[in-house]
Amino acid sequence: MLNNLYSSARRWSCFLLVFGVSILFAQESMPFQINSQILNQVSRSVISIKSITLGKGRPEIHIGTGFIIHSDGYAVTSHSVVFSADELQVTLHDASVVRAVLIYENVETGIAILKLKGTTFTPVELQNQRELKYPACLTILGNSLGFFPSVTMAMLERKSDDGLLHLGALIPPGNSGSPVFNGKGNLVGMLMGRTSFKIHQSENMPVGLALPAYKIAMEINSLIDHFIKHPGWVGLSVDDLSSQHGVVVTNVSKDGPAERAGVSVGDTIVAFQGIAFKHALDLELCVTSVKPDTEITFTIMKNGNRMNYLVIVQKRNWFLSP
């Protein structure tokens, strides 16, 4: 049966449903070898992401993929999957659906970090491995045309000058942000996009572009460590002031620590624990480094008056705004 499917599909693109998993054969010459035990293990870390953007008309919905990198519910995906999203819904390997929020994004590298609601998740092992063998048969676990989880076989062809891995494969929509694994189940990279190269006058070779795993690890490991070890939160958003030191309060979480202390939108925070600071990032680092249930002092300019406000830091709740 597989031979018939191969011959009818020529070099590219045929789908099978095998035990509920959609498998895409990328090349006729590529061996079809998937260790079911490894596949089952790594698939528990893969998530399907529904990005919802609200507007005047019907909501825009985009589908992508991501993968869990910490058991507390931190996940990584491509920035293109969650860009401008008003709501994020994540489907896990067992078909359960959880909420997610975007907590970090880097437009330049294309990396985005999500926080999933819950605390019992299976993470993928994120290794800082730079050495790769070319060519190599790889596996992309994603969300091909609505089939989740889907398995796309790909051949690691080369590494381009911009650091992206080139994967020989026909990759359907929905796979942006998908993890790419080697035969041992180790994460090799994250799928960022698709392109093609002309190999004959009448034939183009589809290519997937993946960000190497070591680059992902270099950017996010310290961030995740900071989020976990420094969970301090007071429930406000601030912006820099162009003409003076301090920050202006732009948003206050309803019934959060700052609102309960009397801080309101438009206030100017000029000092933390009696020490002046210049930028919003300075204040954020100060607050997040404080242990929950600790009382801190904001010095605030309100209606022309300089006053001190006592705020009790709480453990961060990502699902309260801001």
Second-level CATH architecture of 1-229: Beta Barrel (2.40)
Compute the average pLDDT of residues 125-145.
79
Cβ burial 166-175 (10 Å sphere, 16+ → b, else e): bbbbbbbebb
- The whole-angstrom separation of Cα 289 and Cα 194 is 40
> Looking at 1-15, 121-135, 143-157, 284-298, which range is the least confident one?
1-15
Residue 66's contacts (CB-CB under 8 Å, 6 or more residues apart) are: 46, 47, 49, 75, 76, 77, 78, 81, 90, 114, 177, 178
The per-residue pLDDT of the chain, averaged, comes to 83
| CA of residue 298 relative to chain centroid, distance | 33
Compute the average pLDDT of residues 308-317.
92
pLDDT value at residue 55: 81
Asked if residue 293 has pLDDT above 90, the reply is: yes
Cα dist. 165→127, 156, 241 in Å? Answer: 16, 7, 42
pLDDT digits (tens, 9 = 90+) for 181-192: 988 889 999 999
Q: Does domain 232-315 have CATH number 3.40.50.2300?
A: no
pLDDT value at residue 144: 81
pLDDT digits (tens, 9 = 90+) for 254-278: 889 999 999 999 999 999 999 998 8
pLDDT value at residue 162: 77
pLDDT value at residue 1: 36
Residue 188's contacts (CB-CB under 8 Å, 6 or more residues apart) are: 132, 138, 156, 165, 180, 181, 182, 210, 212, 213
pLDDT digits (tens, 9 = 90+) for 205-235: 678 899 999 999 999 988 898 888 888 899 9
Asked if residue 281 has pLDDT above 50, the reply is: yes
| Pair of tokens at residue 66 | 């991501």
The residues spanned by each domain of the chain are 1-229, 232-315
pLDDT value at residue 196: 66
Q: Tell me the one-letter amino acid at 286.
A: C
